[in-house]
């Protein structure tokens, strides 16, 4: 709904631009065990918080070795204390903390320490591609700097040669998607975007409080690292990754065509009503598949970002931006092409926009990209859920995600209570119209509430914000859980998340919620390999294709996007097909069929759905 924990839908295909607030994926490793027992951290919200006094302009600190060194010393001390004094249950959280130290090592020129720490981080990686690519750029930079020194003519040449050598030894089928992402990220690098992020996100916090918390300070570390070490090597990285990709043009096999479930008209026992609970749907694209009222109007239940009842199948675009909407939508294709390493005019426009973006244009550009992503998201999801399912009938449940850099509205008790109530109203509406399956490709966590409070200047200390965030989050979580629990006849299908971590540790909702009528979905690619972005953990029961999945944008353009947002509706589509051939199936039956007919990967990390087998078994049940 409208609380900060649902501020953005899960749209990794657009994250090439949206990740400017976190240019680096922070990762780390476990501290050595001590003889005495240490407190065990079971949830991300239990990690210690710290505050750092900031005087003046944050972008000036990022550029100044002397001023940054004072902040870096404090951050290093605090991160080391957390690692030394706590047992952290989650490896992703460990990786995140250790990578802060790793970046600081590189900034300080402590290359041997950086190389040693990079290997510790790599040992904590959990996905096959991550194990191979972890710290790749940093390692070659450290090795080249040790041999030649920063700023020498030989340094960038050595980085390129070392990177090419390391890449050549990697199995293309395992790392292909991630290398494409690395190339695209390098192509989008630009100083203006980095400085704009500091000025538009961090500076307003500092202006209010004179401080940054340990939630936001890593962005300043990442920006200093990127300005100092990564940006000067931009073309070196683009060339090295591009050369590797050009030398490996073999297309990965597509396992999904053979698994496709085709439901013959003779096997259909009746229509199946599904809902896409998302940012809205352009229902004009789906004709007879849209469920309508007695006056022929699409059935829609909608709430705005203030969690107030509203109308409309799609979110309203501000008048000032309506003329720019075609350009904003075209950028979506540009991001998709970049992710696939496709040269196109749209990809070129996006590269030019973001790499040359002046700081003063940052807010406008990033908020437009976020707005377009939100506007398109639900329609893209609906196209996947309804694909090859003429018996499916769509009900639209619309929520509005905030696209602004500063949260609007800010968190409050009144807002959380309205949001929790809106869940119940939405589910009551879906039950009244006999919906059987609901897709939910969105989510958030308690950390999102806490950071929104800091951005809004609410709470004098990290501990005060932590306490209030927990209160607001629990209202939201309990409201959503209760709403789904009171509809035991509906199967809710949700995306695991796109943060490459465990939603249970982060308390992400809906994906960490456990209910007998809720199924959480992770993402793989066309070959069934685990997507680099997908979240994982005990609540993720099945995996579906979420990499470059083609579907509609509002207006009818078809574009391939990636994310667990695209994997979840694949499972919704399958559930609809199962109900079409066997309407008596209950949510628990659907989950059992989908999971039991799936195939476990050799490493045990993926459980690949098999639609054809599931439908065959449903017909025989």
Predicted confidence (pLDDT) at residue 497 exceeds the cutoff of 70: yes
pLDDT of residue 327: 87
Judge whether 255 lies within some domain: no
- pLDDT tens digit string along 412-444? 999 999 999 999 999 999 999 999 999 999 999
184 plus 322 within the same structural domain: no
332 plus 399 within the same structural domain: yes
308 plus 238 within the same structural domain: no
Q: Which of 232, 226, 183, 191 is CA-nearest to residue 22?
A: 226
125 plus 215 within the same structural domain: yes
| Residue 23 to residue 198: CA distance in whole angstroms | 12
DSSP 31: P
560 φ, ψ (degrees, to nearest 5): -90, 130
pLDDT of residue 18: 33
* Average pLDDT of the segment spanning 321-330: 87
* Average pLDDT of the segment spanning 512-537: 97
Average pLDDT, the chain: 93
Q: Which of 210, 230, 246 is the last residue of a domain?
A: 246
Structure tokens at 59: 């972008």
Structure tokens at 479: 């409201």
15-19, 37-41, 103-107, 323-327: which has the highest mean pLDDT?
103-107
- pLDDT tens digit string along 104-146? 999 999 999 999 999 999 999 999 999 999 999 999 999 999 9
| Residue 510 to residue 304: CA distance in whole angstroms | 19
Q: What percent of the chain has pLDDT over 70?
A: 94
* Average pLDDT of the segment spanning 213-229: 97
Count of other CB atoms within 10 angstroms of residue 425? 15
The position carrying tokens 């950086």 is: 114
Task: Decide which of 249 and 36 is more confident.
Answer: 249
Judge whether 252 lies within some domain: no
* Average pLDDT of the segment spanning 387-411: 97
Domain count within the chain? 2
Query: 520 by DSSP, 3-state: which?
Result: strand
218 plus 174 within the same structural domain: yes
362 plus 491 within the same structural domain: yes
Least confident range from 68-77, 245-254, 391-400: namely 245-254
Query: 166 by DSSP, 3-state: which?
Result: helix
303-307, 321-325, 344-348: which has the highest mean pLDDT?
303-307
Q: Residue 280: which CATH number?
A: 3.40.50.200
pLDDT of residue 330: 84
Structure tokens at 177: 């998607």
pLDDT of residue 36: 59
pLDDT of residue 320: 87
pLDDT of residue 326: 86
- pLDDT tens digit string along 43-88? 999 999 999 999 999 999 999 999 999 999 999 999 999 999 999 9
437 plus 570 within the same structural domain: yes
pLDDT of residue 37: 78
Q: What percent of the chain has pLDDT over 90?
A: 89
505 plus 609 within the same structural domain: yes
The answer to whether residues 299 and 293 touch, using CB atoms and an 8 Å cutoff, is yes
Judge whether 269 lies within some domain: no
| Residue 111 to residue 99: CA distance in whole angstroms | 14
Task: Decide which of 27 and 455 is more confident.
Answer: 455
Structure tokens at 494: 């949700």
354 plus 453 within the same structural domain: yes
Judge whether 547 lies within some domain: yes
Range of the structural domain that residue 420 is part of: 274-620
Judge whether 256 lies within some domain: no
pLDDT of residue 17: 34
Count of other CB atoms within 10 angstroms of residue 357? 23
200 plus 319 within the same structural domain: no
| Residue 548 to residue 88: CA distance in whole angstroms | 34
415 plus 508 within the same structural domain: yes
* Contacts with 86 (C-beta within 8 Å, 6 or more apart), sequence order: 38, 39, 40, 41, 47, 48
| Residue 122 to residue 132: CA distance in whole angstroms | 8
Predicted confidence (pLDDT) at residue 372 exceeds the cutoff of 90: yes
The answer to whether residues 373 and 328 touch, using CB atoms and an 8 Å cutoff, is no
Judge whether 473 lies within some domain: yes
Judge whether 261 lies within some domain: no
Predicted confidence (pLDDT) at residue 35 exceeds the cutoff of 70: no
Judge whether 289 lies within some domain: yes
The Cα-based distances of 34 to 31, 47, 99, 106, 344 in angstroms read 9, 19, 22, 27, 55
Considering all CA atoms of the chain, what is the largest pairwise distance in Å, rounded to the nearest integer? Answer: 76
DSSP 360: G
132 plus 202 within the same structural domain: yes
Q: What is the CA radius of gyration of the chain?
A: 24
């Amino acid at each position: 709904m409208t609380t900060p924990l649902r501020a953005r839908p899960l749209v990794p295909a657009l994250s090439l631009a949206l990740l400017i607030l976190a240019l680096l994926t922070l990762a780390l490793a476990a501290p050595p065990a001590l003889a005495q027992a240490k407190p065990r951290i079971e949830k991300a919200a239990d990690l210690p918080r710290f505050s750092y006094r900031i005087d003046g302009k944050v972008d000036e600190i990022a550029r100044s070795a002397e001023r940054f060194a004072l902040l870096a010393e404090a951050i290093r001390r605090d991160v080391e204390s957390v690692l030394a004094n706590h047992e952290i249950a989650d490896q992703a959280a460990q990786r995140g903390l250790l990578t802060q130290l790793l970046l600081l090592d590189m900034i300080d020129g402590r290359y041997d320490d950086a190389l040693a720490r990079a290997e510790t981080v790599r040992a904590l990686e959990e996905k096959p591609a991550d194990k191979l690519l972890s710290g790749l750029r940093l390692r070659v930079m450290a090795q080249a700097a040790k041999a030649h020194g920063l700023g020498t003519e030989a340094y960038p040449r050595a980085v390129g040669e070392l990177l090419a050598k390391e890449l050549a030894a990697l199995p293309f089928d395992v790392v292909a998607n991630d290398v494409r992402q690395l190339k695209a990220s390098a192509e989008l690098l630009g100083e203006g975007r980095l400085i704009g992020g500091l000025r538009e996100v961090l500076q307003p916090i500092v202006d209010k409080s004179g401080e940054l918390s340990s939630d936001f300070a890593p962005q300043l570390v990442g920006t200093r690292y990127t300005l100092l070490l990564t940006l000067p090597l931009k073309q070196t990285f683009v060339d090295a990754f591009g050369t590797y990709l050009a030398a490996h043009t073999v297309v990965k096999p597509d396992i999904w065509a053979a698994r496709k479930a085709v439901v013959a008209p003779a096997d259909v026992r009746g229509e199946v009503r599904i809902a896409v609970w998302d940012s809205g749907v352009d229902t004009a694209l789906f004709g007879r598949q849209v469920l309508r009222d007695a006056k022929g109007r699409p059935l829609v239940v909608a709430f705005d970002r203030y969690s107030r009842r509203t109308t409309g199948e799609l979110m309203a675009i501000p008048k000032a931006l309506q003329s720019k909407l075609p350009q904003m939508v075209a950028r979506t294709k540009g991001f998709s092409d970049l992710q696939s390493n496709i040269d196109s005019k749209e990809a070129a426009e996006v590269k030019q926009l973001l790499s040359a973006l002046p700081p003063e244009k940052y807010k406008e550009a990033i908020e437009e990209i976020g707005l377009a992503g939100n506007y398109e998201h639900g329609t893209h999801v609906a196209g996947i859920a309804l694909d090859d399912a003429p018996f499916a009938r769509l009900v639209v449940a619309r929520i509005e995600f905030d696209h602004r850099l500063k949260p609007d509205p800010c968190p409050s008790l009144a807002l959380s209570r309205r949001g929790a109530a809106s869940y119940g109203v939405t589910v009551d509406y879906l039950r009244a119209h006999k919906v059987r399956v609901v897709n939910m490709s969105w989510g958030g966590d308690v950390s999102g509430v806490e950071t929104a409070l800091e951005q809004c200047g609410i709470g004098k200390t990290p501990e005060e914000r932590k306490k209030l965030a927990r209160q607001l989050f629990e209202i939201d979580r309990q409201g959503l859980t209760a709403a789904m629990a009171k509809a035991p006849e509906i199967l809710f299908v949700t995306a695991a998340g796109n943060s490459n971590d465990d939603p249970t540790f982060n308390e992400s909702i809906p994906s960490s919620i456990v209910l007998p009528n809720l199924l959480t979905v992770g993402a793989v690619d066309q070959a069934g390999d685990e997507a680099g972005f997908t979240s994982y953990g005990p609540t993720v029961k099945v995996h579906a294709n979420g990499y470059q999945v083609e579907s509609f944008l509002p207006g009818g353009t078809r574009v391939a996007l990636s994310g667990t947002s695209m994997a979840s509706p694949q499972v919704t589509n399958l559930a609809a097909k199962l109900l079409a051939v066997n309407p008596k199936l209950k949510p628990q039956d659907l989950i059992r069929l989908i999971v039991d007919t799936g195939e476990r990967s050799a490493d045990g990390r993926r459980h690949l759905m098999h639609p054809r087998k599931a439908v065959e078994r449903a017909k025989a049940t």
